[in-house]
Amino acid sequence: MDSPTLDDIAKESGCSRTTVSRALNGYSDVSESTRRKVLAVAHRLNYRPNAHARGLASNRSHSIAAVMRQSAFAETPIFIEVLESVRHTLGGLGYHLLHAAPTPEFVGIEDALSMYQMHKIDGVILLEVEVNDSVLPRFLDLGIPVVLFGQAEGRRSVPSVDVNGAAAMARVTRYLLDLGHRRIGYLSGPLKYVYAQHRFSGFEQVMTEAVGGPIAEWVVEVEGSLQSGYDGAARVLSMHRRPTAVICNSDYVALGAMKAIRDWRLRVPEDISVVGFDDVPVARFLSPPLTTVRQPTGELGRLLAEQMISAIERSTSPAGNIVLECDLVLRDSCARIQHAEE
């Protein structure tokens, strides 16, 4: 079957061939409604422009770099799923992601800066945002189009896509409180990252309202790995007074925590309830199946890609700072307290 052409898109969309070409190449004289109609038809027909010819015409590479610092997060399913959605959306619009599925090989910071200056990439999706981030200004100072997966404090002019981590963790905390828990531990992501601070703020606020605040000794910063979850839980379990529930920053952390709980000859959820975050595929197959927070990975990736294209082509203003809500997925890793807590 022949590949679809501009003429095919023109016929399906009811636009002229010239209008289709100008819409696909981001010209500002095409209305937003027409541009969206053309892009929708192009995506449905699986249109793939000639990247070489298009690059010569626009002086663009039509490649996007996904940039991440060295981190345990790079191996987690949440990033793989989000970037697969980014890759799929960009591909439908004639762009290429460096690099996505099946295992992300994320572009380094220095690599991305050099590649942009050599016209090998057109923009950057920054996947981790630190508090007082020193990396973001380096991209902005060079005029590199940037979209953030997460939010940058004091940088609301930079387009971003994120989940409402504070609201999600607040909901988790209220759920455990409703089950009778008052002694709740928290395995946090590194608090140098904005997302980790947002999630912790939701937990802290609800705990402050309910019991005067969390127990500081039961709040432990961990990376996103299984081992860090095990080590963090082990630290809490070794204390004389233990929590009856533990909220984990990710499902991988929760998996490690559940192993530590079993090694301490305790049971989930009879002795300690556990909640994760992400809803990775394995979560529902655990014993017991893990209660967790589901992130809308497909929508996150699609919006990141659309924000990136808008920032590059400047045909429309990026939609700003988009925040999506998460779902609490109730399974069997939490139980009601059967006796009054001390």
Q: Are residues 186 and 228 in the same domain?
A: yes
Give the span between the Cα atoms of 318 and 283, in whole angstroms: 35
pLDDT band at 71 (very low <50, low <70, confident <90, very high): low
Whether residues 286 and 203 fall in one domain: yes
Identify whether residues 278 and 191 lie together within a single domain.
yes
Q: Cis omega before residue 99 (within 30°)?
A: yes
User: Residue 154, Cβ neighbours under 10 Å: how many?
Assistant: 10
Nearest Cα to Cα of residue 46 among 3, 11, 90, 102: 3
- CB contact at 8 A, 124 and 64: yes
Give me the pLDDT at residue 18, please. Answer: 75
pLDDT for the residue 16: 87
pLDDT band per the 50, 70, 90 thresholds, residue 101: very low
CA atoms within a 13 Å half-sphere pointing along the CA-CB vector of 134 = 2
The confidence score (pLDDT) of residue 147 equals 95
Mean pLDDT confidence for 90-111: 70
pLDDT at 127 over 80: yes
More confident residue, 2 or 7: 7
Q: Give yes or no: residues 99 and 220 share one domain.
A: no
Decide: residue 150, CB within 10 A, 0-12 exposed, 13-18 middle, 19+ buried.
buried
Taking only the tens place, the pLDDT of each residue in 287-316 is 999 999 999 999 999 999 999 998 888 755
For residues 219 and 283, state if they share a domain. Answer: yes
Q: Evaluate if residue 341 carries a pLDDT over 60.
A: no
Range of the domain at 140: 59-163+297-325
Q: Do residue 105 and residue 135 come from a single domain?
A: yes
Q: How far is the C-alpha of 311 from the C-alpha of 6, rounded, in Å?
A: 24
Q: Where are the alpha helices (DSSP H) in 118-178?
A: 136-141, 165-178
CA-closest candidate to residue 238, choices 261, 215, 259 = 261
- pTM of structure: 0.80
Q: Are residues 134 and 202 in the same domain?
A: no
In a domain, 334, yes or no: no
Do 217 and 70 fall within a single domain? no
Share of the chain above pLDDT 90, in %: 55
- Determine, yes or no, domain membership for 247: yes
Q: What is the pLDDT of residue 317?
A: 60
Is the pLDDT at 57 greater than 60? The verdict is no
pLDDT tens digits, residue range 227-286? Answer: 999 999 999 999 999 999 999 999 999 999 999 999 999 999 999 999 999 999 999 999
- Closest among 339, 330, 338, 266 to 294, alpha carbons compared: 330
CA distance 323 to 96: 25
Report yes or no on 64 lying in a domain: yes
> Residue 66: pLDDT above 70?
yes
| Confidence class for position 222, pLDDT limits 50, 70, 90 | very high
- Alpha-carbon span 259 to 200, nearest angstrom: 23
Confidence band (pLDDT; 50, 70, 90) for 103? Answer: very low
> Is residue 309 a part of any domain in this protein?
yes
Provide the mean pLDDT of the chain.
Answer: 87
Strand 160-163 vs strand 123-126: parallel, antiparallel, or unpaired? unpaired
Query: Does the pLDDT at position 167 exceed 80?
Result: yes
Please give the residue that has the higher pLDDT: either 175 or 338. 175
CATH of residue 31's domain is 1.10.260.40
Whether the predicted pLDDT of 160 surpasses 50? yes
Please report whether residue 312 resides in a domain: yes
Domain count, the chain: 3
pLDDT at 49: 61
151-161 mean pLDDT: 83
Q: What is the CATH number of the domain that holds 72?
A: 3.40.50.2300
- Judged against a pLDDT cut of 90, whether residue 26 lies above it is answered with no
Same domain, 170 and 270: yes
- Report the residue count for the chain: 342
* pLDDT greater at residue 65 or residue 115: 65
Domain assignment present for 19: yes
Q: Which residues pair with 187 in a beta bridge?
A: 220, 248
340 located within any domain: no
Q: Assess whether pLDDT exceeds 90 at residue 209.
A: yes
Assess whether 239 and 223 both reside in one domain: yes
Based on the fold, state whether residues 228 and 317 are members of the same structural domain: no
In a domain, 225, yes or no: yes
15 plus 106 within the same structural domain: no
- For residue 55, pLDDT beyond 80: no
